[in-house]
Structure 1
């Protein structure tokens, strides 16, 4: 029996092929044609009929154009705010604690709001071991369309190994401000990540920090770590299935995406990803993801798609300048992001400490695959090895070249 669950009307992460082209362009092309016709009517009103039509349109808005526009904006803003509050309540209601069979609490957890670089409220979580002993802290940046609460089992595994965990919902995701599933700028997400990291560093002086990102979150983490002041705060970064070689389904998409992202940034491609790409070989994990009300399952928005193309293109051009210690993990059967791009990052990066692990036959959501415990342990082992290397060297600036290429087969 096949373990692949077919889902209807779903999206998942940053697909390495952003949407079929001809069907999705139909509505935008109609929109452009309509705009051109309106301009022609306005600029060349040669017929009395055309003049009467233009006059009628002008008169219909003459009474209170600004009032109508303001009312529409208020309505949209109110709707988005209500949706944000609903999502935040759902995020707060999630139980993120763990208990043993004897009812013993295994970790301390909490939620909070962090205000990003644009003063937008971002929903955050933290998990810490009950004991005060702490090896380090891992900051989790989730993937596109999901949220930090999905990583509770990974957090449990980390705290059991004496690692603290922080996680942040991006703008438009989970319990954070913004239109659900809409990302106006991934550079803002990168900046928010840096600011969040600075806050954690100041609250936990002397504790080693690691940054983790999945899928588009992996791209965010890699770009954030390209800034020297952020890299200086980190002992290393970990990426699972990073979105590094995202490409449009057709070259015309790359040409038109910048225009549409400016003109109709929130427009949704109704034909996008009608059938969700399988992201896990565990049917229960697939069902849990797509029945989660905090996971965005609507069509991708124009600006969001364009932002993914932009950050992916930027990172591909700059692999050779990557110097941060990193560990990249990817499933070879991933149909959402490209495992070959992770291999290219490993091959081209200038980092002295770099490791890659490719999991034969695994899909996109590695931490939700049946072998999630093994994958989580691989990440923990890498961080512990990194800390041991730093302790042995006695100097953060001395980084040992480990450059290991390994494969795991199921």
Structure 2
């Protein structure tokens, strides 16, 4: 069966985001916004000219006002110009629908070897975040793994992986970060990845409080790996974590031209939620397993739309920060990357391995593999590598 390749992640979409065609479209939108902002001032100017050219008495104005009110003229506002509150309601409803689906999947997961549960917690910003856990039934828990998914996906996609960790004595916790899965926010819109970093720190504290005395590891994929990396650069988090596992980490995502680094913050400020329609879904497959691709992109909790401008800028911002602070990383880590990954750069993972100050560090580059390593045909071997690394550190 011929299957159209799909894409996910950040790199190629960011290149498309800042293409010449995309910039022209954005500049046209900026011009339109400026003109709309100027319309009220132009109207006031014309009104002033009219009042100076025609002397209308007070009685005449009152009479005209009475006539206008008696005619009961109705001003109709187009749907596109409904106040912002209505748009917020739509976003809240959409997030509630996603959350209900995420909860239903947890409740309906009947596995004799694993107890799967969900919980909600409120962030410092007032957003409700969806989290879940996988606990082994008959295997003694020897350690913890806190899992962060990648851009556009959700923690539930890693259920099979979590259950494999359960079978080896690891209790797993997953968090859907802002705008993803069952958590609040416009789907796949990230106003600031620092929010996700702060949420991850709070979630980590909750996990440690529930499981005192157990070693805790963090697993992150793609942008989720970038979030974990920035979190563990905090000395307080570094002291709480026994090690981190990173698959296809987003530490090497760059736009196609350096000028876009200057333009990105401006465009993301003016049109943060604008979706760029030039991202090419046929250019960057993320897995060589056709069934895994179909399962991913038929999942309503996986975002398949075009990258939002602010989200793209936030990815550029966190990768730039990590590039400048790799030498501050001191926790033990395992990084895994496919050499044919076209979403994030495997050479950046090599640079992370070389520059990190960690004395316990391991890198594995898989020849010919793509971005979603745990959904490649070789997923069992990759999972075994991760479990072996964990077993040696418990």
Task: Tell me the TM-score normalized by structure 2.
Answer: 0.86
Distance 1:51 1:78, change over 3 A: farther
Give 1:44 shift.
Answer: 8.9
- In structure 2, the residue matched to 1:76 is 87
Structure 2 residues without counterparts, runs of 5 or longer: 51-73
2:385 to 371, 378, 403: 378
CA shift for structure 1 position 14: 1.6
Corresponding residue to 1:14 among 5, 10, 16: 10
- Residue from 363, 366, 369 that aligns with 2:370: 363
Which residue of structure 1 aligns with residue 32 of structure 2? 34
Change (3 A) 1:109 1:268: same
1:44-97 deviation per Cα after TM superposition (whole angstroms, max 9, x unaligned) = 99x969978xxxxxxxxxx99xxx999521210110011011111111121574
Give the 3-state SS of the residue equivalent to 2:180 in structure 1.
coil
- Is this contact kept in 1: 2:139–2:166, CA < 8 A? no
CA distance in 1, matches of 2:172, 2:34: 53
State the distance in 1 between where 2:272 and 2:280 align: 18
Indicate the SS of the match to 2:296. Answer: helix
Q: Where do 1:192-231 residues align within 5 Å?
A: 192-231=199-238
**126-135 vs 298-307, which moves further:** 126-135
Deviation at 1:11, TM superposition (A): 4.6
Do the aligned partners of 2:116 and 2:134 also contact (CA within 8 Å) in 1? yes
1:263: Cα distance to partner? 1.4
Q: 1:48 to 1:175 in 2, by over 3 A?
A: closer
> What is the distance in 2 between the residues matched to 1:106 and 1:36?
59
Q: Unaligned stretches of 5+ in structure 1? A: 53-62, 100-104, 388-410
d(CA) in 1 for partners of 2:248 and 2:84?
38
| Superposed CA RMSD | 2.6
CA distance in 2, matches of 1:108, 1:90: 18
1:165 is aligned to 172
CA distance in 1, matches of 2:224, 2:169: 24
Structure 1 residue 234, shift from structure 2 partner: 0.6
Q: Does 1:285 align with 2:292?
A: yes
Q: How many residues align?
A: 365
SS of the residue corresponding to residue 386 of structure 1 reads coil
Match of 1:237 in 2: 244
Residues 183-204 of structure 1: CA deviation (Å, up to 9, x unaligned): 1110010010011000000110
Deviation at 1:301, TM superposition (A): 0.5
**Residues 106-160 of structure 1: CA distance to partner in whole angstroms, max 9, x if unpaired?**
1111011122231211111100110361110101000000001100110111011
Aligned partner of 2:65 in structure 1 is none
CA contact (8 A) 1:17 1:246 kept: no
Normalised TM-score (structure 1): 0.83
Q: Does the CA contact (< 8 Å) of 1:41 and 1:50 recur in 2? A: no
Instruction: Give the conservation status (yes or no) of the 8 Å contact 1:88–1:175.
Output: yes
Larger Rg: 2
Q: 1:325 to 1:16 in 2, by over 3 A?
A: farther
Runs of 4+, deviation exceeding 6 Å: 38-45, 47-52
Please tell me whether residue 89 in structure 1 is matched to residue 100 in structure 2.
yes
For residues 128 and 42 of structure 2, the distance between their equivalents in structure 1, rounded to whole angstroms, comes to: 48
Aligned twin of 1:152? 159
Are residues 350 and 33 of structure 1, via their aligned partners in 2, closer, same or farther at CA, if it must alter by over 3 Å? same
Task: Determine the C-alpha separation between the residues in 1 that align with 2:379 and 2:325.
Answer: 31
- 1:399 maps to none
